[in-house]
Chain A
Amino acid sequence: FAGLSDVSISEDIPVEGEITVPVGSQSPDEDYSTLDEPVRDTIMRDLKAVGKKFVHVMYPKKSSALLRDWDLWGPLVLCVSLALMLQGGSADSKDDGGPQFAEVFVIIWFGAVVITLNSKLLGGTISFFQSLCVLGYCVLPLTVAMLVCRLVLLAGSGTVSFVVRLIVVIAMFGWSTLASTAFLADSQPPNRKALVVYPIFLFYFVISWMILTFTPQ
């Protein structure tokens, strides 16, 4: 301990610095806390995300917005509106009528789940909800087709209207299938792409069939 008496901290060396504690409420970061923002901002943000995804579906380019920031609002809205538009068809109460609301709902969601499971079982690298998101959003062209069909049926239900509806539905069916394939095909193993694409084709074919065979009262 004798040597320690020689050690001394010189008073000549100044020690400087700043010690501050960051206070959270004063930080201008938006994503740190969204609790304080107005409700309108929250809703608009989600609506804008959904709208952006709609645009991506209509012009399918290799974008990762649909995949990375998946949400299921869009598919829900599309499914409900499609199921609602398929109501009011011929003979809802009889057995031989068109699909009921619950049937459309079940077909779309159960079909999407089965296709997602199928692609994951075949070795796909996409996550479950991302795939559901893509399949749900790609129903958008067919919902547009349903809208067009209902408008055409208001004008008349003869052969001409049937041909117009057929062309529209076929075009939108092709668009849906191509859009979803563009988003999903990259995540599949290369020698199994056809095995994954075929169920998607069948899924949109069934939805197109339901749209095409819709006959009003």
Chain B
Amino acid sequence: IAFFVMYLFAEFDDAANLLAANPDATTISIDEPSEVPKNKHSRLQQSGREEDDELLGTDDSDKTELLAGQKKSAPFWTFEYYQTFFDVDTYQVLDRIKGSVFPVPGKNFVRLYIRSNPDLYGPFWICATLVFAIVVSGNLSNFFIHLGKPTYRYVPEFRKVSIAATTIYAYAWLVPLALWGFLMWRNSKVMNIVSYSFLEIVCVYGYSLFIYIPTAILWIIPQKVVRWVLVMFSLCLSGSVLVMTFWPAVRDDNRRIALATVGTIVLLHALLAVGCLAYFFDAPELDFPAPNIPAHNGTTVITKIQ
């Protein structure tokens, strides 16, 4: 799989150089990766959605090719190639996390935060943290739910670590791969103005999973209502980040396909959240029927006596 992915990266480099009509993926690399508001950028960039409509002029094509070459010039079998994916500072990672938790309406996460410097640090370690957060929280929650029962013996449920890891890493890497393939395919049919590289999509997905970490920890609270409110809330936040990122990439397409794509993205995201909640966290209602029955009998006895 690693060689296949590397082949994809090499393919992308060629594609980026050839597709001169896609300015957005490469023009931004001129700027240093800091929080400069978009209005202050050079004439190559415009704020908001207008940049999506700007086609690349001939004077920019040299720069973009040069910059695309500068960015990842090392061959993929050297260590330096992979170091370019970790070229982020602490404040950048924190900014990207902040951007995924507080989505600004109308601002694209990729444009605003990633800016042609996608990193693999965020996606990898957010997924790792999420795996352990889910397993540990699930274990704790089950412990508290079943605490009073006489037949309950605590088990660490360590097997669930491998299951959680497989699920979350598969989601964070295979879904972006499928989405990237799909977008590339649509790009060949309909000339979309906005297109993302595979790493940028992985980056968006990785950072959008961050909101699930505090959600998983709060799922320890054994109330069904609380858990579902949390699911809805986190789904809205991270789903909106994803939607605002991918809507500009598909809206030039056939209306139905665009809506289906965005709908599928949100659906898969929701499935991940609901699936994790259902599998790793026992339902809290198992406790309620047991105490109710003797109380019910007690009240009926009392009424009869009276």
Contacts and interface: CB of A to CB of B under 8 A. Distances in A.
A98 B158 contact: yes
Given A122-B121, A202-B128, A213-B139, A90 B89 contact: no
B278 interface: no
A96 B159 contact: yes
Interface centre among B83, B129, B157, B159, by most chain A C-beta atoms within 10 angstroms, is B159
B129 A202 contact: yes
A171 B128 CA distance: 24
Contacts of B88: 192, 195
Given A202-B128, A205-B132, A195 B158 contact: no
Interface stretch (B148-156, B199-207, B225-233): B148-156
A120 B132 CA distance: 24
A129 interface: no
Interface residues of A, number: 30
Interface in B79-97: 79, 82-83, 85-86, 88-91, 93
Contact of B156 (A122, A199, A213): A213
Contacts of B89: 191-192, 195
Contacts of B157: 96
A97 B156 contact: yes
Nearest to B139: A213
Interface of B: 79, 82-83, 85-86, 88-91, 93, 121, 125, 128-129, 132, 136, 139, 153-159
20 contacts: A90-B156, A97-B156, A98-B156, A99-B156, A103-B158, A121-B82, A121-B83, A121-B86, A122-B86, A191-B89, A194-B90, A195-B90, A199-B125, A199-B128, A206-B132, A209-B136, A210-B156, A213-B154, A215-B153, A215-B156
